[in-house]
Amino acid sequence: MINFGEDTKKNKDKIEDLEREVQRLTDDMTRMTYEIQRSRDEMSYYKNSESSEREKMALRLENTLLKMGRLPAPKNEDAE
């Protein structure tokens, strides 16, 4: 009977250790999930920002070329 009591205590201790480990792993996964989402959001922001900057640069170049007379003005299809 003494062996069963000792075995039961050892098993309870192991279960408690495993529960702590599962909680630690769960916390780690939660943090990783948060970091991955934050990285995705950041990448999306930079992608959109870069796209807007390229579009603005293209429009500035087009305006400069139009002012210099090197680029024909776009045809207005409404006037036809």
Please state, in angstroms and rounded to a whole number, the distance separating the CA atoms of residues 21 and 24: 5
Structurally, the chain folds into a number of domains equal to: 1
CB 59 within 8 A of CB 52: no
Residue 20: inside a domain:
no
% the chain with pLDDT above 70 = 86
Range of the domain at 50: 32-58
Residue 80: inside a domain:
no
Helix (H) / strand (E) element for 48: namely helix 2-68
Residue 41: inside a domain:
yes
CB 65 within 8 A of CB 71: yes
Q: Is the pLDDT score of 32 beyond 90?
A: yes
* Least confident residue range of 6-20, 35-49, 57-71: 57-71
Residue 48: inside a domain:
yes
Residue 45: inside a domain:
yes
Q: Given this model, what pLDDT does residue 8 score?
A: 93
Residue 42: inside a domain:
yes
Residue 43: inside a domain:
yes
Residue 77: inside a domain:
no
Q: Span 70-77, mean pLDDT?
A: 66
Please state, in angstroms and rounded to a whole number, the distance separating the CA atoms of residues 69 and 34: 52
